[in-house]
Amino acid sequence: GAGVSQTPSNKVTEKGKYVELRCDPISGHTALYWYRQSLGQGPEFLIYFQGTGAADDSGLPNDRFFAVRPEGSVSTLKIQRTERGDSAVYLCASSPLAGEYNEQFFGPGTRLTVL
Amino acid sequence: SQQGEEDPQALSIQEGENATMNCSYKTSINNLQWYRQNSGRGLVHLILIRSNEREKHSGRLRVTLDTSKKSSSLLITASRAADTASYFCATAAEGYGNNRLAFGKGNQVVVIP
């Protein structure tokens, strides 16, 4: 079956622009997660959805970042007024349930470059 | 906040040798997981060990967990060229379920054929 997919795979934008990054989780997975990975670092948690609602958005760095999951499936991470420091690989993951021992399945990521 | 932290290593080993990498963390956890990442993109889950477990095996992988020392190790036996990747440990903090994994910086492993 299909895994987690993310589009676009690469995004180059200019400082100050708005970007949207899309994540298609594995069908039937209720939990969805966004992480950000900077070069040479491990992924950093941003936000987690249980169904349509953001259950934990404490990892979002500031109010320029926002994510939605209106129908409990596809999610979009939105970044306003992008800054060069936002350049990173944005990873999405999903899991069947938000339980204690559920593996997270990761997508290939979107590499965002802010010039 | 708790965070998995590997000893930042770049291991270079010959095919057939064993590779060992370590991870430490700071607070109480529900579980600790190891992931592999190729070419700086998607992560692949390798193994999960619960906080009440001390050792776990999966194929050529062996994970240990010492909650008193807040540390874990991952051993890959009989390494293959295809094991070349970055390896990350990730912890799920107690009280948070599995919902916000905290990753370390990763170990780069190169297996020379």
Residues of B at the A interface (Cβ-Cβ below 8 Å)? 4, 30-31, 33, 35, 40-45, 48, 50, 88, 90, 92, 96-106
pLDDT tens profile B37-65: 987 668 999 999 999 999 999 999 999 99
Question: CB–CB of A100 and B30 under 8 A?
Answer: yes
Question: What pLDDT sits at residue B67?
Answer: 95
Q: What distance in Å separates residue B41's CA from the closest CA in chain A? A: 5
Question: From A110, which residue of chain B is nearest by alpha-carbon distance?
Answer: B41
Chain B residues close to A24, C-beta within 8 Å: none
Question: What pLDDT sits at residue B30?
Answer: 86
Q: Which of A36-40, A99-103, B5-9, B105-109 has the lowest mean pLDDT?
A: B5-9
pLDDT tens profile A44-83: 999 999 989 888 899 999 999 999 999 999 999 999 999 9
- Whether residue B83 contacts residue A26, with contact meaning beta carbons closer than 8 Å, is answered with no
pLDDT tens profile B3-12: 455 555 788 9
Chain A residues close to B35, C-beta within 8 Å: 106
Distance between alpha carbon A92 and the CA centroid of its chain, in Å? 4
pLDDT category at A1 given cuts 50, 70, 90 is: low
For residue A16, the tally of other CB atoms under 10 A from its CB is 10
Residue B93 has pLDDT above 90, yes or no: no
